[in-house]
Amino acid sequence: MDTLAGILPGGYWDGEGRLHRSFELAALTGRDEELLAQASDRPPAALVTELLARVLKSLGSICPVPEQVARQLLVGDRQFLLLRLRQATFGDSVRAGLVCPWADCGRPVTVEFSLTDLPVSEPGDKGPVYRLTLSAAAAPDSGDVGRTVSFRLPTGADQEELSPWLAVNEARALTLLLERCIREVGGSAPPGRELVGALSPLARAEIEERMQQLAPGIEEMIEAGCAECGRSFLVPFDVQRFFFGELRADSGLLYREVHYLAYHYHWGEQEIMAMTRGRRRTYLEVLADEIERLNDGA
């Protein structure tokens, strides 16, 4: 399967107010796999942007899809696209080895689940900007108008900009995210850093909660069970980290496959690396069958 088609749970709003949700993805080629395998030192958000710009063939009526559009996609939509790429690359089944987190157990646990079964949230309310009226407790000194906040949802551009802060000061990163996403506070637009900074902790919490409710996304907690102690626990599943990790672990195999095909078919590296993973594997299977047939005939 060289292309994947689907509908984003959120969508991209262009400058003319049109929502684009349908997409077409190209399956990963060897060059794409190589990019991800060799980019372990690059910020993950920037890497996702570059990857999506390479594989997104269309988004609604946008064709081709420029890198700037890939960067402005909602965080949940970017995760959804990575999920679809992972399914096309490695299949639907996920198998991982963990350790039981209960202190009196600590035995090895194998977690298996299907990506198709992961819940995907698709809010019914879609818009480039949302409005929220803060509670009286969150903004006690404001009237009805003063408690109104307008905001947009976080995008890949926000991730790229704020990723350095997440490693050193998560609270500061969240503040900067609100400054980027909030468009209006109490009729003041844009609100400015001081006005956003003056929001009470409860007001911030209400805005963040509403953002989470409206944002599309993939369920990131998987329930697992330990066969030894019989207890269950939740396991975080980060599709981006898991997918990139799988590709990096497979990087040595990629070059061995290229060498094998080049050796037997006398193809150049460029044409082999331009193949999708599925097409490479098809030729490898055909070659293996043919070699086995020749050996049996000998």
Say what the pLDDT of residue 19 is: 96
Say what the pLDDT of residue 73 is: 98
- What number is the average pLDDT over the span 28-49? 87
pLDDT in tens, 128-158: 999 999 998 998 776 655 789 999 999 999 9
pLDDT in tens, 207-227: 999 999 999 989 888 888 898
Residues 6+ apart with CB under 8 A from 149: 131, 132, 133, 134, 182, 184, 185, 186, 203, 207
Inform me whether the pLDDT recorded for 117 exceeds 90: no
pLDDT in tens, 176-191: 999 999 999 987 888 8
pLDDT in tens, 70-96: 999 999 999 999 999 988 888 888 888
Inform me whether the pLDDT recorded for 249 exceeds 80: no
> So where are the chain's domains?
3-121+218-246, 130-215, 250-297
Inform me whether the pLDDT recorded for 165 exceeds 70: yes
- Percentage of the chain beyond pLDDT 90 is 51
229's tokens: 């102690």
Phi-psi region of 131 (alpha: psi -120 to 50; beta: other; left: phi over 0): beta
Q: Which helix (H) or strand (E) holds 194?
A: helix 192-197
How far is the first Cα of the chain from the last one, in angstroms, to the nearest whole number?
A: 36
Inform me whether the pLDDT recorded for 162 exceeds 70: yes
Contact assessment for residue 262 and residue 269, using Cβ atoms and an 8 Å cutoff: yes
Residues 6+ apart with CB under 8 A from 130: 150, 151, 152, 153, 210, 214
pTM over 0.85: yes
pLDDT in tens, 261-296: 999 999 999 999 999 988 999 999 999 998 888 887
pLDDT in tens, 89-100: 888 888 888 899
Say what the pLDDT of residue 143 is: 61
